[in-house]
Homo-oligomer: A and B are copies of this chain.
């Protein structure tokens, strides 16, 4: 039998010859090109025939014997009897084809649009000002942690998260958000998405209904869909989530997802009356409210309205917070605040469900909060984001004239600019994307029958000096999308 083919094809760069020989022999055995029982030449003869060192052949033979591809005994080295069959590659692919696809829930839960990498472009929503991040203070906390506690923080996280971080957070939420919570009610997560994933699986069962705001936060829908929940859309009005009697009767929820302090994306603030009514109805329906306290940190003009969590004793509310905007998204730390009644069970379940870690970062963040860096940073950023919003409002006013309709300025890092019906937001957003802007179409967040038409303009990472240029480009995009600056704003809707 001829074995020249083993080394006749060009050798891949950077792979030792003995490894190539091993790989090619193995492939030939597993494809039945070398059938079971085939006698291989003695290592010395094969080495001579191929013009290589005997050790190279020995290495390959030994490894293949160890793996069970070859059998070596006194009669020599033979191909082992293995469950392989000779068939063209295409046939094998065909047989597998049926299985090589994602699950049905992946297909339905995921939006059909291509996914763009999150980028920090002008107007990209939800991007904080990276340049203003206190790198020096944060890195000092990280370095102190590595130095002082080092390897003790390298394992999995403690139950519910680092005790110091939970305590620091309980203090912070008490003084800044008015929440009287104990550290034991806090579970550290790797961000909002992980928190929603946990709520979907630990608080609801397959087939349960979850209410999502319409328009609303798309990634929450993905989490709920992948957890097997039925997403029911509930419209949002000027006071926040506005469920009808029919919503309560025909689609009783197990979970109600809301962003009351700054509805995403419309930026509306849920009124106190609406908050109290929602808690009361949720109690009666046996539903959990998942309160994503989105953007409550960056309020303008007065304190944030009280969170649903803690408005009433024993309210069925779970509070979700994140450090993605106040620190940076890549940190991947967030938290859940839970009612006393389920806090211990939830923390125990979360530990098994997620195997959390990031002990170094958790410890450093606790340090960062304790030393006052966190509140100082929030205070600075509140001022900074306010002036960015003011500059953006001015520039938009100058560019688009008196018909301009803006909303969502009470908090957060974005404004909504409403468009008249004749100027489709999708077209403007597409034009803007081509011009390097991260503006999003409001309608992309809505499901029928709700329709809305506007632009979500993030200003978190938009320097005051860059505002005028970005707005000029936005105006160009709107014009190219078929609307003159007059037509654009003649009849605002929403």
The chain A residues found within 8 Å of chain B, CB to CB, are: 14-15, 19, 23, 26, 30, 63, 66-69, 80-84, 89, 92-93, 95-96, 98-106, 110-111, 114-115, 117-120, 127, 130-131, 133, 135, 139, 142, 146, 150-151, 153-159, 175, 178, 190-194, 197, 201-206, 208, 219, 222-223, 226-228, 271-273, 276-277, 280, 282-288, 302-303, 305-306, 311-316, 328-332, 339, 341-342, 345-346, 348-349, 351-360
Closest-CB distance, A181 to chain B (whole angstroms): 14
Min CB–CB distance A16 → chain B (angstroms): 9
Roughly how many angstroms separate A282 CA and B348 CA in the complex, as a whole number? 35
Chain B residues, CB < 8 A from A84 = 276
| Closest residue on chain B to residue A282 by CB atoms | B99
Closest B residue by C-beta to A63: B303
Beyond the given A93-B314, A193-B354, could you list 15 further A-B residue pairs with CB under 8 A, ordered by the A residue number? A92-B283, A103-B201, A106-B201, A106-B202, A130-B151, A135-B146, A154-B331, A155-B329, A201-B226, A222-B353, A226-B353, A227-B228, A228-B228, A329-B355, A331-B357
- A101, B316: Cα distance in complex, Å: 10
Assess the B314–A92 pair: CB atoms within 8 A: yes
Question: Within 8 Å CB of A81, what residues of B?
Answer: 273
Least CB distance from A217 to B in Å reads 11
Contact of A159 among B115, B120, B222 (CB under 8 A): B115
CB distance from A210 to the nearest CB of B (A): 12
Complex-state Cα separation, A223 to B346, whole angstroms: 15
A358 in contact with B345 (CB, 8 Å): no
Contact A100 B339 (CB under 8 A): yes
Interchain CB contact under 8 A, A133 and B120: no
Contact check, B193 vs A355: say whether CB atoms are below 8 A apart: yes
Chain B residues whose C-beta falls within 8 Å of the C-beta of A313 in the assembled complex = 89, 92-93
Residues from chain B with a CB closer than 8 A to the CB of A272 are 67-69, 80, 82
Complex: A219 Cα to B349 Cα, angstroms: 11
Residues of B contacting A131 in the complex (Cβ-Cβ under 8 angstroms): 151
**Identical copies of this chain, number:** 2
- Tell whether A153 pairs with B353 under 8 Å between CB atoms, given A84-B276, A102-B346, A313-B89: no
Asked if B314 and A67 sit within 8 Å, CB to CB, the answer is no
CB distance from A229 to the nearest CB of B (A): 10
Given A117-B158, A178-B23, A352-B111, decide whether A151 and B127 contact each other with a Cβ distance below 8 A.
no
- Is the beta-carbon distance between B102 and A353 smaller than 8 angstroms? no
Contact partner, A103, options B194, B205, B273, B276, Cβ 8 Å: B205
Asked if B342 and A357 make an inter-chain contact with CB atoms under 8 angstroms apart, the answer reads: no
**Docked-complex contact A83 and B360, CB < 8 angstroms:** no
User: Closest CB of chain B to A55's CB: distance in Å?
Assistant: 16
A357: chain B residues within 8 A (beta carbon): 191, 329-332
Q: Are B273 and A314 in contact, with the CB atoms below 8 A? A: no
Given contacts A222-B353, A273-B68, contact A98 B286 (CB under 8 A): yes
Q: Which 3 A-B pairs have the closest CB atoms?
A: A68-B272, A330-B357, A130-B151
A202, closest chain B residue (CB): B106
Contact assessment for A286 and B316 in the assembled complex, using a CB-CB cutoff below 8 Å: no
CB-CB nearest in chain B for A284: B95
User: Which residue of B100, B157, B283 contacts A96 across the interface (Cβ within 8 Å)?
Assistant: B283
